[in-house]
A and B are shown apart, each in its own frame.
Chain A
Amino acid sequence: MELDRIFDSLLTIVGSPHLVGLIILAVPIGMFFGAIPGLGGKLGIVLLIPFVFGMDALSGAVFLLAMHAVVHTGGSIPSILFGVPGTGPDAATIVDGYPMTQKGEAGRALGASLGASGFGGVVGGLFLAAMLPVLRPLVLAFSPAEFFLLALLGITFIATLSGDSLLKGLLVGMFGLMLAFVSLDPFTGVPRFTFGQLFLWDGVDVITAVLGLFAIPEMISLGVKGGSIAQVRKEAATYNLREVIEGIFDVFRHWALSIRTALIGAVIGTIPGLGGDAASWICYGHAVQSSKDPSRFGKGAVEGVIAPETANNSKEGGSLLPTLFFGVPGSSGMAIMLGAFVMLGIQPGPMIALTGMDLVWSLIWTLMIANVLAVFMFLACAPAFGKLTYVRGGLLIPFVITLAFLGAFLSHAAWENIVLLCGLGVLGYFLKKYRWPRPPFVIGLVLGPIAENSLHKALAIWGPSFFLRPLSLIFIALIFGSIGVYFWRVRKNGAPQVRYDT
């Protein structure tokens, strides 16, 4: 009977020109919102809500979800081509995507990102379907203790991402952690490191920080060195459709990594409060750590594009789980989606398991269809985007800098973010110039607040004994395992010769 329901939902969508048309319309809109720094999926949902007024619940939900599902597919485009992340979670894609572009492999990087996004989206949908029976105990098993240890596990990846300079990597990661403490202290309400500035009370905006530390230094560097982003001759580079398809095949060549990171992303998406930034960086760290030759990372390893991109899209399937079944949004984007669902007359909560499974299955299919459709719709455009990287840098610099300024402002509608952007941009340039690895910064910035909030909550609830909870012990074992693997590798192969120049 359940199989009937599952396939009836699929037939409802593909048999309805209206719903198919809405998905076809939503996919490029979602990719546009992802590709423009500072816009992102949340703003996309907010701006599209007026357009779904008057639609029936299914059509409205399908339209909004299809748009939101492919935001990160679009977000990878500026990350790979210009080193400018479209959204926060896309920052991890820069680390290897941008060096691939510099090597003249923009087409392959875009293909890998497309394939990984589509694959991740489908796995996310399948994960959502598979988890329906065991959903409740899984979500309820995660308490602040596990949040803290999961964040700590992510922070241990700082060492892995430090490349050939562990000390500098740790310091940049700690700098990210310190910036994460800039805000009102969540427990005492005391403003910390805010210098009396109201805009810092909510913390340092991740998009502004990432644009400052990555986009601005790249543009200054491009202006200093001259030439184009791609550092090879145009004739020697490959940016045709074949190269893009080659990138898509890379996802299947690294099938084990793709499946692992898609599942990790989906699981992280299930856990409310961890967010997409954590998913992409944890998966990137996992890719480096599990690689036989970590020295290729940071120089344009295709696995470094696949891992964060699969996670970015698979987490959307995961985050739909608590949103629909508990009314607890799995991410900030899903929080707005939750409001839109309620506005459309869909009442998320446990009752949906009894009365709304048709809708749930339709949404699962929407996730998968939108992700696959995004791959095909974007496939033809990718080679043309690849050619952009051969445009002389001087022509691109003013547009990218304007876009970075715009992204910083739009992320919180605060002009003060532009000041922060410039400050971090100058610092980021010198960090880049003197080979301080920058990726650990984002891990610290993203996971710092999660770690701090969860630690205080866990200590308040259980005291130090929270370390002895069964799930905590598993995470502690994973943390020690992760550190152990790093030192075992250093002992076996010497310090990894990775240089994160991006």
Chain B
Amino acid sequence: MILNGRILTTTVMLAIFAGMSAMALTYPEKARFLPLLISIPATLMCLAQLVFDIRSALQDGPAEETAEAALERPREIKMFLWLAVFFVAIMSFGFLIAAPVLVIAFLRFGEKEPWMTAILGGLGAWVILYGVFTWLLELFLFEGFITRLLIG
């Protein structure tokens, strides 16, 4: 398979630089000077990197996926899903509610820890978040959009 993760990563970087170059062209002269000074050479260098990556992939041929890589893929997907769950839960319910629940969920269902360990972990997270940040330091912690709607 020629289209591998290495090439995709370089392509994403190329898209970022090319997109930023295109956006910079729309700015006034003084505002676009330095961004273009960086982004245009970066786009060209990224193209060169892409050529190197494709040539290297063509030379190597369609390599067999190693056992380690095959083992890593489902774990990678699992970790990205957990990151997404953390993101959605904290954005929805805020730190004080979501973080302890997430710690419990991750430890119990993600890591198969005993319920006791998971609950203690969640409780510890809440004590630190509420005790240290909210009560002691009087910091405002993001309360989440759904919580904000419910509380009004």
Contacts and interface: CB of A to CB of B under 8 A. Distances in A.
Interface of A: 47, 167-168, 170-171, 174-175, 177-178, 181, 185, 187-188, 190, 192-193, 216, 219-220, 223-226, 392, 394-395, 397-399, 401-402, 405-406, 409-410, 413, 415, 418-419, 422, 425-427, 430-431, 433-434, 436, 451-452, 455-456
Contacts of A397: 106
Interface of B: 5-6, 8-9, 12-13, 16-17, 20, 23-24, 27-28, 30-31, 34-35, 38-39, 41-42, 45-46, 48-49, 52, 72, 75-76, 78-80, 82-83, 86-87, 90-91, 95, 99, 102-103, 106-107, 110-111, 113, 117, 121, 125, 129, 133, 137-142
Contact of B31 (A174, A178, A190, A410): A190
Contact of A192 (B31, B46, B102): B31
A207 to B, nearest CB: 15
Contacts of B91: 415, 418
A185 B27 contact: yes
B141 A178 contact: no
A4 B83 CA distance: 60
A224 B102 CA distance: 18
A452 B34 CA distance: 7
Contacts of B110: 394
Contact of B38 (A177, A405, A426, A436): A177
Grouping DSSP codes into helix (H, G, I), strand (E, B) and loop, the B interface class, with mixed when no group exceeds half, is helix
Contacts of A177: 38
A405 B90 contact: yes
Q: Which of B16, B28, B38, B49 has the most CB of A within 10 A?
A: B38
Nearest to B133: A406
B79 A187 contact: no
Contact of B75 (A223, A398, A405, A436): A223
Given A174-B42, A178-B42, A193-B23, A409 B142 contact: yes
Given A185-B27, A395-B117, 20 more contacts: A171-B46, A171-B49, A192-B27, A193-B24, A223-B79, A226-B75, A394-B111, A395-B121, A399-B125, A402-B103, A406-B99, A406-B141, A410-B139, A418-B90, A419-B87, A430-B9, A433-B5, A434-B5, A451-B34, A455-B34
A422 B82 CA distance: 12
A226 B75 CA distance: 9
B87 A418 contact: yes
A183 to B, nearest CB: 10
Contact of A398 (B8, B24, B121): B121
Nearest to B145: A415
Given A188-B31, A402-B103, A402-B125, A167 B38 contact: no
A405 B86 contact: yes
A392 B110 CA distance: 13
Nearest to A452: B34
